[in-house]
A and B are shown apart, each in its own frame.
Chain A
Amino acid sequence: MLRPFDYFHPNDMAETLTLLDQEDETSVLAGGTDLLVKMRRGSIRPPVVVDIKGLEECQGIRWEGDRLSLGSLTTFNDLLRSQEAHKHFPLLIDAARVMGCYEVRERATLGGNVVNASPGAESGSPLAVLEAQVVLKGRRGERQMSIGHFWQGVGKTDLAPGELLVRIVIPRLPEGSRSTYLRRSRVQGMDLASVNVAVVVINPRLPESREIRVALGAVAPTPIRAREVETLLRGQEITSSLLSQMRDKIQEGLAPRTTSLRATPGYKKEMVGVLTEMALEVLLKG
C-alpha cells in the first residue's frame, strides 16, 4: 500500500538539485521499477518523490571523445535500440535482453539500476568490466568516479545527499575486442540473475598481448572484478589446465549471501567459473 507523498516533476537541473538539497528524505523517481516496489512494500517511505524524467541532461546516448556517454535515464530498451551499444558493447545488449520483461525494460533505466546497487543487477558486472565511470551532480558541483568505487555494498553507493547520477560513461574498447554477458537464473524470463559474469577480451587473436577482463555479479556485496583471474589469464594460451586453475581461483574470496533462495553460495561459486569458461569459449572462437 502506497503512503501519501509529495510529488515533483521538475524540468531543469537547477530546480531538481534544489529540491534534492532541500528535502531530507527524497527519493528520485526514474523508471520506478525498483522504487515503486520498495514503496509499496513499505521498505522505504519517502515523504518526497522527485521525478527526473523531464531532465534532458540525463537522456541520450552519445560519444564524448572516446567515451560513450549514457544518460542515467537511458532505458534498457533504449540500449537495445542503440547501434552504438550493439557495435561496441555487445555485452550490454546481452544483459539488457534478459533484464525483466519487455514492459520493465521499457521503463527501467540504467541509472536506476546502478543506483539501486543490487549485487546481481543485470548492468552491474558489464559496467564493472567495462570500467565505466559515473557522473554525479549536486548543487556544489559535479564529480566523476569509477563505478567500482561508487558501489559500496548491497544497496549502498557513494551518492551524497542532494546528489544525482546524471550519466554513465564507458571508455571505448580497442578495435577487435569482444565481450559477452552470461547469467544463471531459475527461469529464462522475468527473473533476477542467480549469478552472472561479464567478460571482455582485448586482442582475442593474439594470445601474447591478449587481455581478458572478468567481472562477477551476485557473489559479493557489489559486482566485482576478478582481478586475480585476469592476471592468471593475461597473455596465456587457454588450456584445460589453465581453465581448471581459473575455476579454482575465481572462487577465492567470494562470499555470496547465504540467504538467497535463488542459489546456494556453493553453487554460485562454482557457476562463476563455469560461466566464465563458457564465455571464453564463445569469445575466443574463430
Chain B
Amino acid sequence: MGQPVKRIDARSKVTGRARYVADVKIQGMLYGKMLFSPHAHAHIKGIDTSKAEGLPGVWAVITAQHIPGENQIGVVTPDQPLLAQETVRFVGDCVALVAAESASVAEKALGLIRVDYQTLPGVYTAQEALGENSPLVHQGGNLLTHLKIRKGDLKKGIGECDILLEETFHTQRQEHVYIETIGALAIPEGDGSMTILGSIQCPFYVQKGVAHVLGLPMNKVRIVQATTGGGFGGKEDVPSEICGFASLLAWKTHRPVQMILTREEDLRRSSKRHPMSVTYKMGATKGGKILCAQIEVLADVGAYATLSPVVMFRSTVHATGPYEIPHVKVDTYGAYTNNIPSGAMRGFGTPEVTFAHESMVDELAAKLNMDPIQIRLINGLRLGSQTATGQVLRESVGLEETIVKAKEACDWESKRAEDKRIGPSRRRGLGASAMFYGVSLGAKGWPLDGSAAAVQVHQDGSVSVAIGGTEMGQGAQTVVAQMAAECMGLSLDRIAILATDTSLVPDSGPTVASRTTVFSGNATLNALEQIKRSMTELASELLAVAPEKLDFRDGQVLGGGKKISFDQLVQHCYSRNINLGAEGWFVSPPCSFDEETGQGDAYYVYGYGTQIAEVEVDLDTGQVQVLRVTAAHDVGKAINPQGVSCQIEGGVVQGVGYALLENFMMVKGQIQTPDLATYTIPTSLDVPQVEPIIVEAISEKGPYGAKGLGEQPIIPTAAAVANAIHDATGIRITKLPIGPEALRRALLEERKEL
C-alpha cells in the first residue's frame, strides 16, 4: 500500500492469456451484424428483409417491430430507440440486425436488406440546431439541456475589474480509441434467462438496458465482464446497445450470438467527446485577482442524449476552473443535432472548458504583465475557498502544491526567461495549465452513487473479492487488491479480484467519474472490516488477548505478546461455523445542486492538477512538437504510485492528441474519419517526455485517504500546450486541434501585421 506494485493483471495481458470476449467461442454460436443507416436524418418508409432471410446460413433478421420489450435504451433521457423504427437520426443508427452462421454470411445478408428511406433535412451544428425554424431532431425541440450558475453580482464584479477580456473557444469531437473494440456474447439459458459476456465498463447499465429491451425481469439477465481493453467512457453506455443487439438475436434464435464490432463499426456507433463553443468574459484587478467570469457553453449533443445532461453538469461546475471567483454567471446549453451522439469521454465535459479558462487566465496574466504561475497561485482554490457553486472546500485541496511542484520540477523561471529562438525558424515555449475535477458522480448522479463488494475468506486463508467496479485497463483491480491485502495484513498474492458479474455483487452504479478506487475500495474495506470483527472475536478468545489489542499484520493476528497465523485462525473460524463472507457498501457523502442558482456542494471532494508543457514550434511548417510535460496531480493517497504515474502518462498522451491532431470530423452528418487511417492519434514517436509528480492531499472519506485520478490527467494538457505555443510564438490559438495549417496561417498573418 502506497508502494509501487506490478499490476496483478499484467502477466495475463502481456502473455496474451487474458480472455477477451472475441476469444470466446462456444458450441452453436452465431455471429451478429448490424445494418447502419446511410443517412443522417431520414424517415423509414419500409424495410424488406425477405431476401436476407432466405440466404442460407441466416438464422434471424430483426427489425424494431420484433423487439419483445420496450425499444428504448436511453440511459439518462428516454430518447433513443435501440433499433430505429420510424426515423434515423444519425449515420450510426441501426435499422436491422442479422444473425448467421458466419460473420461473412451475416455481412452478405445485410446487403440483401432493402430499406426505403425518405431523407429529411438535418441540423449539423449546435448553433444551427437552436436557430429558429431549424429541423427538429426530436419532437420536444433541439435544446436538450440548460444548466446555470448564478453566484455573486456579475455587474458589480465587472464594474470593479481593471481589465476585462472576452474570447470564444472551439473544441472538437474526440474518439476514445480504446485498443479493443466493443463486443458481446449473448447466451440464452435454458430457464429463459440471458447471460451476456462483454467488453463493458458498466455491467449494471447493461443489465437494466437488456432486461428492458427483452421485456425480462432484471433477475433473468446476468452480465459478466470479459477482460476489457480500455474504455475511457466509450464503454459506459454504448455496450448496452451492442449487448442489446446480441441478446435480441440470441433471444430470437435460441442460440448464443457473438457480436464483435470492427473498428469501423465501432467508430461509427460509439459516442464521442462533445464539440463545444465556449465564450468567456473574465475580469481581474491590476493585482491579478480574478473578480468575475461570465461563461456560455454550447455543446453539440448529437442525435441522442446519452450522458449529455450529466456531461454538461460537469462542464458547468468546472467552467471557472480551479479558482475562487466571487461573481460568476454560467449558462451551459446542449443541443441535439444529426451528428453522432456525444457522450462520455475521459474528463466528461471538463477538458473542453479547461482549454478555454486556462487560455483566458494566461491572457489575463499576459495583459497584466504577470507570471502565469503567479496569477494561478493568487486565485487558486485552497482550504476554505468557495467554488463557483458556493461550495466551501473543507478538506483535501492540493492545487497550490501541484502548481509549486510542477513549476519547480520543470525549471519554470529560467526556462521562461530563456531565448525562445533556437534556430532561424524554430521557437520554444513553456505553458502552464491547472485543473480541478469532482470525484465520482456528484449531485447529478447521487442516486447511482453507491457501490458494493462481496468478499470471502476461503478455508486456506486466501481471499476473493468481487467488486461492482470494473477493470478496463486503469488498474482498479490492483489497487483494490492492495487495499484488501493491507487491511487483512496479507501479501498481495493472497487476494484475488473476481471479474465483475452482476450475479455476484449488488448494483454498484457505473465505473466512471474516477470513482472506483474510492467506491469499490471503501466497499471492500467495509466488507473486510466485518470479517475482521468475527475473526478478531475468536482470536481474542483463543489468545486470551483483548480484541482491541489485536492487529492483522504479516499473515498473522497478533497483540499482547501473542500471535496466531492468519491461516490457522481461518481454520478455527471454519471449524466453528463462523461466517467469513461479507458484503460491503459505500455511499457517496451528500451532494447538492440548485437548478436555478447552480449553488450547492456539487461533488463531495475534488482532485487537482497542474501541467506544464514545453513545446517546439516550426515557424515554416506550423508543426508543434511537445517535448516535455510536467504533470503534478493531487490524487489523495496514491495507493499504487506506479499506477498513478501510468495514468498520468496515458492522460497526457491522450491530451496531446486532443491538443494537436485528433478530430473526429463530420460534414453534413457524414463521417469523414471512418477508420484509424483517417482518424489519427499520437504514435510512440509523438509522445513527449512525461514527468509525473504525485501530490497527496489526503481525503478523509477515501480509502486510506485516496481520491480518484483516472480522468484528471487529460484535462489540463491541451491548454498547457496552447499556452506554451503562445509563449513560443505570441500566437493565441482558440480552436482545437491546433494543426500545423492553422498555426502557420496565424503565424503568416502575424508577420503581415508586423
Q: Which residues of A contact B (CB under 8 A)?
A: 1, 184, 186-192, 261, 263-264, 267, 270-271, 274, 277-278
Chain B residues with Cβ below 8 Å from A188 are: 683, 685-686
Known A1-B103, A263-B741: A271·B686 in contact at CB below 8 Å: no
Nearest residue in A to B105 (C-beta to C-beta)? A1
Interface: B672 (CB within 8 A): yes
Whether B740 contacts A191 by the Cβ 8 Å rule is no
Bound state CA distance, A278 and B680, in angstroms?
Answer: 26
Chain B residues with Cβ below 8 Å from A278 are: 620
Whether A186 contacts B620 by the Cβ 8 Å rule is no
Residue from A189, A261, A267 within 8 A of B678 (CB atoms):
A261
Known A187-B683, A187-B686, A189-B686: A261·B623 in contact at CB below 8 Å: no
Chain A residues with Cβ below 8 Å from B661 are: 186-187
Known A188-B685, A191-B680: A267·B107 in contact at CB below 8 Å: no
Nearest residue in A to B677 (C-beta to C-beta)? A192
Whether B623 contacts A184 by the Cβ 8 Å rule is yes
Whether A261 contacts B621 by the Cβ 8 Å rule is no
Known A261-B678, A263-B741, A264-B741: A189·B685 in contact at CB below 8 Å: yes
Main secondary structure on A side of the interface with B: loop
Chain B residues with Cβ below 8 Å from A190 are: 683
- Compute the total of residue contacts between A and B using a CB distance below 8 Å: 41
Bound state CA distance, A277 and B680, in angstroms?
Answer: 28
Interface: B682 (CB within 8 A): yes
Bound state CA distance, A190 and B683, in angstroms?
Answer: 7
Chain B residues with Cβ below 8 Å from A192 are: 677
Interface residues in B664-680 by Cβ distance below 8 A to A read: 665, 672-673, 677-678, 680
Chain B residues with Cβ below 8 Å from A1 are: 103-104, 107
Given contacts A186-B680, A261-B665, 5 further A-B contacts (CB under 8 A): A1-B104, A187-B681, A191-B683, A274-B620, A277-B620
Nearest residue in A to B108 (C-beta to C-beta)? A1
Chain A residues with Cβ below 8 Å from B3 are: none
Chain A residues with Cβ below 8 Å from B563 are: none
7 pairs from A and B in contact (CB 8 Å cutoff)? A184-B740, A187-B680, A187-B686, A188-B683, A189-B686, A271-B621, A277-B620
Interface: B684 (CB within 8 A): yes
Q: Give the total of B residues in contact with A, Cβ under 8 Å.
A: 22
Interface: B744 (CB within 8 A): yes
Bound state CA distance, A188 and B682, in angstroms?
Answer: 8
Bound state CA distance, A271 and B745, in angstroms?
Answer: 12
Chain B residues with Cβ below 8 Å from A274 are: 620-621
Bound state CA distance, A149 and B752, in angstroms?
Answer: 42
Nearest chain B CB to A126's CB is how many angstroms away? 20
Chain A residues with Cβ below 8 Å from B672 are: 261
Nearest chain A CB to B523's CB is how many angstroms away? 41
Nearest residue in B to A2 (C-beta to C-beta)? B104
Chain A residues with Cβ below 8 Å from B621 are: 184, 271, 274
Chain B residues with Cβ below 8 Å from A277 are: 620
Chain A residues with Cβ below 8 Å from B681 are: 187
Interface residues in B584-624 by Cβ distance below 8 A to A read: 620-621, 623
Nearest residue in A to B619 (C-beta to C-beta)? A274
Bound state CA distance, A277 and B620, in angstroms?
Answer: 10
Nearest chain B CB to A183's CB is how many angstroms away? 11
Interchain residue pairs A-B with the least CB separation, the first 9:
A189-B683, A188-B685, A189-B685, A267-B741, A274-B620, A187-B683, A186-B680, A1-B104, A187-B686
1/0 per position for B738-754, CB-CB distance to A under 8 A?
A: 00110010000000000
Nearest residue in A to B739 (C-beta to C-beta)? A186
Bound state CA distance, A264 and B107, in angstroms?
Answer: 35
Nearest chain B CB to A164's CB is how many angstroms away? 28
Interface residues in B104-126 by Cβ distance below 8 A to A read: 104, 107
Bound state CA distance, A3 and B128, in angstroms?
Answer: 43
Nearest residue in B to A261 (C-beta to C-beta)? B678
Whether B623 contacts A187 by the Cβ 8 Å rule is no
Q: Which of B672, B681, B685 has the most CB of A within 10 A?
A: B685
Chain A residues with Cβ below 8 Å from B686 are: 187-189
Nearest residue in B to A101 (C-beta to C-beta)? B683
Nearest chain B CB to A72's CB is how many angstroms away? 25
Chain B residues with Cβ below 8 Å from A267 are: 740-741, 744
1/0 per position for B291-318, CB-CB distance to A under 8 A?
A: 0000000000000000000000000000
Nearest chain B CB to A193's CB is how many angstroms away? 13
Chain B residues with Cβ below 8 Å from A184 are: 621, 623, 740
Bound state CA distance, A263 and B103, in angstroms?
Answer: 36
Chain A residues with Cβ below 8 Å from B665 are: 261
Whether B680 contacts A189 by the Cβ 8 Å rule is no
Nearest chain B CB to A248's CB is how many angstroms away? 15
Nearest residue in A to B107 (C-beta to C-beta)? A1
Known A261-B673, A263-B741: A187·B620 in contact at CB below 8 Å: no
Nearest chain A CB to B466's CB is how many angstroms away? 39
Chain A residues with Cβ below 8 Å from B684 are: 189
Nearest residue in B to A266 (C-beta to C-beta)? B741
Chain A residues with Cβ below 8 Å from B682 are: 187
Nearest residue in B to A192 (C-beta to C-beta)? B677
Nearest chain B CB to A196's CB is how many angstroms away? 13
Chain B residues with Cβ below 8 Å from A271 are: 621
